[in-house]
Amino acid sequence: MKRLYKYIIKGGKPLHGEVEISGAKNAAVAIIPAAMLVDGVCRIENLPQISDTEKLLRILELMGAQVRYVSPGTVDIDCSGVSLSDRIFRYTRSIRASYYLIGSMLGRFGKARTTMPGGCNFGVRPIDQHIKGMKALGATIDIGKGLIQAESPEGRLKGARIYLDKVSVGATINVMIAAATAKGMTIIENVAREPHIVDLANFLNSMGADIRGAGTDVIKVRGVERLHGGSYSLIPDQIEAGTFMTAVAAAGGEVRLNNVIPRHLECISAKLREMGVAITEGDDYIVVRRDCPLERTNVKTLPYPGFPTDMQPQICVVLCLAAGTSVITEGVWDNRYQYVNELKKMGAEITVSGKTAVVEGVRSLMGAPVAARDLRAGAAMVVAGLCAEGTTVIEDVIYIERGYQNIVGKLRALGADIAAVSEPDEPGRMHQSSQESAC
């Protein structure tokens, strides 16, 4: 896998054509650890080829799993031979979703040993609700020196009633994974309802689990002794699709997005329509067209089905181009405006106060050297670069590659002038084919 260094975008070209949306990152990063519960071979299809999924597969391999790529996007995982191993720590420290190993290890071994998770930095990211859930299921937890060690004294977790004090995607998923093979019934209340939570429940059920209510406020998990092998295809990535939607809204043009679930995109489509973007929906595709000036609107991020926090930086770029004043309120994370200073370098007029950003529309953005501060902040820089006048150089694109499969190749196919430039040890070498740009 080639590590890339920066993207160079010559902006101002409208986007035209069709793009295939990849499988959902946040479903994949839950389902790969959950595969540890499966007795036998589990085939996962529509898996996004991004660095976060590759790291999680590597973690399973280091624990003794057999991982075999059947074709791009399809992988067979056999966890028959897995055991706990400290060799995984260099990977678990670098990704957020490694916290799902707590639930899957407890479910598989009755004990867990991993590190505190890494991931994008947008303020404090506590995991107290994950821990509360595991303790309710009977685990003792010891956290110290960056390590998390958990153990179920009876060797198998026991079903329980758990109320989450905060609507948390991660805690909902982690408890669901742990409860799948616990003894008896677990009822999880005040859960998150994101599409990937339903996808994880469907995955586990297809392997023999008994989970009901995913997609509502209460999930009921009747624990089973073991899960069996099978095959499962992941849902498309809501946020990747949303990012392409904002790219078309910002740069103009008309693009058909294939392999999407339009219902999952409604929260994003609604806002873009308010701004004057035309969106038509088919069964598994949508067409996004923008050929007129953008109108201002307000956006508040909320847990699903609200507007996704993971789309907040990208929609901010579109709001920068809308006439008048728009207001963004971040309703999920404490500190998700780190990208604003970068956008200001491109001529954006944004004032941040706490969780609110006031965006004054400008005639256009101007290309500039900027950095990807985190995954979605980086995606916003790409959207900004596509619509800006002149050249934008984005550094630290390694963040973007954690979550977007072949973003450079996909945008080039839509007519964008974007190139990925390799590490400084190969100065000046341009990677322009989709293969070279993928991570």
Q: Which of 152, 168, 269, 326 binds ligand EPU (CB under 6 A)?
A: 168
Single out the residue of 6, 108, 376, 431 in contact with ligand EPU (rule: CB under 6 A).
376
Q: How far is the CB of 357 from ligand EPU (least distance, A)?
A: 17
- DSSP H or E segment with residue 414: none
170 near ligand EPU (CB under 6 A): yes
Distance from chain centroid for Cα 374: 12
Pairing type for strands 227-233 and 218-222 reads unpaired
Return the residue of 19, 37, 65, 127 that touches ligand EPU, per CB under 6 A: 127
Q: Is 68 in the site for ligand EPU (CB under 6 A)?
A: no
125 is a contact residue toward ligand EPU (CB under 6 A): yes
Interface of this chain with ligand EPU, residues 9 to 28, rule: CB under 6 A: 26
Nearer to ligand EPU, 368 or 400 (CB): 400
Looking at the DSSP bridge assignments, the partners of residue 357 are 328, 352
Site membership for ligand EPU, residue 171 (CB under 6 A): yes
Secondary structure element (H or E) that encloses residue 26, with its range: helix 25-34
Q: Return the residue matching tokens 């407890």.
A: 106
Q: Helix axis angle, 312-320 relative to 266-274, nearest 10°?
A: 10
3-state secondary structure of 253: strand
Q: Does 236 bind ligand EPU (CB under 6 A)?
A: no
Output the residue with the shortest Cβ distance to ligand EPU.
Answer: 170
Site mask for ligand EPU (CB under 6 A), range 79-118, x = bound: -----------------xx---------------------
Binding positions for ligand EPU, 182-211, rule CB under 6 A: 192
Among 150, 157, 169, 198, binds ligand EPU (CB under 6 A): 169
Q: What is the per-residue binding string for ligand EPU in 322-361, x denoting contact by CB under 6 A?
A: ----------xx----------------------------
**Rounded to whole angstroms, what are the CA distances from 374 to 115, 127, 132, 183, 322?**
21, 20, 28, 40, 25
Angstrom distance (rounded) from CA 350 to CA 346: 11
Contact 288, 48 (CB under 8 A): no
Site for ligand EPU in 252-281 (CB under 6 A): none
Is residue 309 at the binding interface for ligand EPU, with CB under 6 A as the rule? yes
- The answer to whether the CB of 180 falls within 8 A of the CB of 221 is yes
For ligand EPU, which is the closer residue by CB, 33 or 229?
Answer: 33
Q: Which stretch binds ligand EPU (CB under 6 A): 74-82, 169-177, 220-228, 270-278?
A: 169-177
Phi, psi at residue 385, to the nearest 5°? -60, -35
Taking the alpha carbons at both ends of the chain, their separation in whole angstroms is: 6
CB 376 within 8 A of CB 398: no
**Closer residue to ligand EPU, CB minimum distance, 365 or 380:** 380
Q: How far is the CB of 246 from ligand EPU (least distance, A)?
A: 14
Concerning whether 387 is annotated as a catalytic residue, the answer is no
- Per the rule left: phi > 0, alpha: psi between -120 and 50, beta: everything else, 215 is left
What's 323-378 look like in SS3?
ECEEEEECCCCCCCCCCHHHHHHCCCEEEEECCEEEEECCCCCECCEEECCCHHHH
Which CB, 302 or 366, lies closer to ligand EPU? 302
Find the catalytic residue in 120, 267, 387, 439. 120
Stretch that binds ligand EPU, among 72-80, 124-132, 134-142, 393-401 (CB under 6 A): 124-132
Residue 246 binding ligand EPU, by CB under 6 A:
no
Distance between CA atoms of 208 and 210, rounded to whole angstroms? 7
Task: State the nearest-atom distance from the C-beta of 135 to ligand EPU, in Å.
Answer: 12
| Rounded distance between C-alpha atoms, residue 309 and residue 313, angstroms | 8
Site for ligand EPU (CB under 6 A): which residue of 19, 24, 29, 279? 29
Stretch that binds ligand EPU, among 101-109, 167-175, 204-212, 271-279 (CB under 6 A): 167-175
Q: Which two tokens stand for residue 162?
A: 């758990």
Cβ-in-10-Å burial (0-12, 13-18, 19+) of 222 comes to middle
Which helix (H) or strand (E) segment holds residue 126: the answer is none
CB of 41 to ligand EPU, least distance (A): 25
Q: How many residues bind ligand EPU (CB under 6 A)?
A: 24
Largest CA distance in the chain: 65
The residues of the shown chain that bind ligand EPU, judged by CB under 6 A, are 26, 29, 96-97, 120, 125-130, 166, 168-171, 192, 309-310, 332-333, 375-376, 403
List residues with catalytic annotation: 120
